[in-house]
Structure 1
Amino acid sequence: MIDMVLATSTNIYCERNGMPDIPMECSIRTCASAGYEALDFGFVEMVKQPDRLLCDDWKQEIIHYREMADNLQVRFVQAHATLYDFCNPSADALRLDQMMRRSVEGAAILGAPWIVVHPSTRIKQGEAALDTHEMNVRFFQELADYAKQFAVGIAIENMWGKTIEGVKRYAIEIQELIGLVDAVDRPNVGACWDTEHGSIEHLDQARAIRMLGSRLKCLHISDESGPDAVHILPYMGRIFWPDILQALADIGYKNPFTFEIQHYLPGVPGPLVPSAMSLSVETGSYMISQINALKRNSL
């Protein structure tokens, strides 16, 4: 039995209350110092300054992060693409599409085999349009075909909440997510399950994970305790983790166990950040050990 690796998104140490964001280099170093050996690269955070992915020498920054990680003996096991509401194209559609594609190519430069991408909900006359599913299928087929040349897989993430128009987002329900992955029908397309999103929507997450089965390629693991406390460290919110860990064991999940806990550290004083980071590593290692024990018990 191969043990899964613990990973964290680089956004774990990014946002700081009342202060500028932490640079990517500092986040990578801090993660490595805490004991993380695998990372999920956040293109979302990188493009808070969009020109960084749109300038002519954009690849040099990505190569810099790859070289830094190699020196620190940390590897990138997945990435999170930029955000693009492709069903409702704006005047910036060409720029957003280019950043999406460069996220994919950037993931390849980093050595990340999977990149997580959000689906989109088409709004028409204040409601979800009937062709939302078809538009998502076409978009992800084209993106998957583009990503294939870089040997990168696309992991479509389960969504949460409503659009600014008050419309329930597409792919919140597990049936929609599975229907989308299956309709795209590409070998390099699977699903990413975000536990915080599932909790916000009061879904039966263990059932959803079992339904995904082998489609599940990536995880975004975090907890929540209400709208003002999301993407926090597991066991600090209201998610009942034993059921989720059991479901992951039941489907034989062996890909990275990845935290996305960007709201865990923003208020933690600087001197306490190292110990808080170490606690996150201990927590993730414990959760993986529980999954492995459940797998052994089922043999």
Structure 2
Amino acid sequence: MIPAIWSCIHHRLPLHEAVRSLAAEGWRAVEIGTEHLVAIEEAPDGGRLVDLARQAFAETGVACPQAHAFLAANVAQPDRAAGAADAERLRQHILLAARFGVRNIVMHPGRRREATTRAEFAEVRRLNREAFQRLGDCAGEAGMRIGLENLMTRGFATPGDMLDLLDAIGHPAVALTLDTSHAHASGLDVAAMARDLGAQTVALHISDNNRSGDAHLAPGGGTIDWPAVMQALHETGFTGIFNLEIPGERHPVPELQRLKLAHARRVAEWLVQLH
């Protein structure tokens, strides 16, 4: 594992400028954040932005093995047309991420907060299965894997929830993402969850909280037992990037932002060498 950070810590910069800034701050790998994919997708000169970002990655040596597809996508929403449109947008993000050589792309399962009955949950599961089997085909053809992220939503929070979903989809290009902040804020043992998900985990969203909410702080800013988490990840053989997703560490004062990121990087470097 090597420390990494999601590119949208610098969400006000275009991707190529964010990459160069992170390289100057000492980061060697990034997850391309959803805001940056959306910005490229919606720009009239998106092709030029892709070229500029690829040039920035090449010239800085920063790796980008991971990306986060459209954050707000919901393939299981009651409006079927809207769900299909979201699935198509996720497919387009797979193709866009492939242009950067991304290997693992994070996505959120489709969900319905209002679902309470067995029949409603079965319908949500069916829509997820159908959408992610098709998206898995697209990802597999691009040499990528989808990592479905554990959420703080009923039916998509626990290890059992996520592994059952994965079994229902049954696609070799669809695996899991472990979000430590979501797990901890949901009252779960993060290290135990890492062990339960095991080799199905292909991506990490690393951040901390004190269980009062999804604060997305740097490790050490909350109450997660990080040495235990690192031991669990070591036991599972995880070899991806140790990717920090820490919007809770954003600060409007540039020098304070720089210092907070330097601290986060040093903490991540210490954690990955524990085991």
TM-score (norm 1): 0.82
More helix, by proportion: 2
Q: Shift of residue 96 of structure 1? A: 3.0
Q: Residues of 1 paired with 2:265 and 2:113: CA distance?
A: 41
2:6 aligned partner, one-letter code: S
Which deviates further from its counterpart, 83-92 or 238-247? 83-92
Q: Shift of residue 95 of structure 1? A: 4.5
CA RMSD in angstroms comes to: 2.3
Is 1:104 equivalent to 2:94 in the alignment? Answer: yes
What is the aligned counterpart of 1:142 among 129, 134, 151? 134
* Structure 2 contact 94–139 (Cα < 8 Å) conserved: yes
Is 1:35 equivalent to 2:26 in the alignment? Answer: yes
Q: Shift of residue 159 of structure 1? A: 0.7
Q: What is residue 87 of structure 1 aligned with on the other side? A: 76
Is 1:61 equivalent to 2:49 in the alignment? Answer: yes
1:192-271 residue pairs with structure 2 within 5 A? 192-225=177-210, 227=212, 230-267=215-252, 269-271=253-255
Instruction: Provide structure 2 residue ranges, at least 5 long, that are not aligned to the other structure.
Output: none
Instruction: Provide structure 1 residue ranges, at least 5 long, that are not aligned to the other structure.
Output: 15-20, 162-167, 293-299
Q: Residues of 2 paired with 1:215 and 1:13: CA distance?
A: 30
Percent of aligned pairs with the same amino acid: 26
* Structure 2 contact 216–248 (Cα < 8 Å) conserved: yes
2:224 aligned partner, one-letter code: I
Q: What is residue 164 of structure 1 aligned with on the other side? A: none
Q: What is residue 297 of structure 1 aligned with on the other side? A: none
Is 1:177 equivalent to 2:162 in the alignment? Answer: yes
Q: What is residue 72 of structure 1 aligned with on the other side? A: 60
What is the aligned counterpart of 2:265 among 281, 284, 291? 281
Q: Shift of residue 239 of structure 1? A: 1.3
Q: Shift of residue 272 of structure 1? A: 2.7
Q: Residues of 2 paired with 1:60 and 1:101: CA distance?
A: 21
TM-score (norm 2): 0.89
Structure-2 change in CA distance of 1:123 and 1:129 (3 Å): farther
Q: Shift of residue 119 of structure 1? A: 0.2
The secondary structure found in structure 1 opposite 2:222 is coil
Q: What is residue 17 of structure 1 aligned with on the other side? A: none
2:3 aligned partner, one-letter code: L
* Structure 1 contact 8–259 (Cα < 8 Å) conserved: yes
* Structure 1 contact 114–155 (Cα < 8 Å) conserved: yes
Q: What is residue 12 of structure 1 aligned with on the other side? A: 9
Q: Residues of 2 paired with 1:124 and 1:224: CA distance?
A: 26
1:5 aligned partner, one-letter code: I
Q: Shift of residue 135 of structure 1? A: 1.7
Structure-2 change in CA distance of 1:204 and 1:230 (3 Å): same
Q: Deviations over 1:148-174 (max 9, x none)?
A: 22111101110114xxxxxx3x31121
Q: Residues of 1 paired with 2:110 and 2:87: CA distance?
A: 13
Q: Residues of 2 paired with 1:235 and 1:124: CA distance?
A: 34
* Structure 1 contact 75–111 (Cα < 8 Å) conserved: no
Structure-2 change in CA distance of 1:23 and 1:206 (3 Å): same
Structure-2 change in CA distance of 1:155 and 1:68 (3 Å): same
The secondary structure found in structure 1 opposite 2:75 is coil
* Structure 1 contact 40–258 (Cα < 8 Å) conserved: yes
Structure-2 change in CA distance of 1:131 and 1:94 (3 Å): closer
Q: Residues of 1 paired with 2:115 and 2:258: CA distance?
A: 50
Structure-2 change in CA distance of 1:8 and 1:125 (3 Å): closer
Q: Shift of residue 80 of structure 1? A: 0.2
Q: Residues of 2 paired with 1:53 and 1:227: CA distance?
A: 35
Q: Deviations over 1:85-140 (max 9, x none)?
A: 11115465555333211210111111110000000114667765332222211111
* Structure 2 contact 148–175 (Cα < 8 Å) conserved: yes
2:215 aligned partner, one-letter code: V
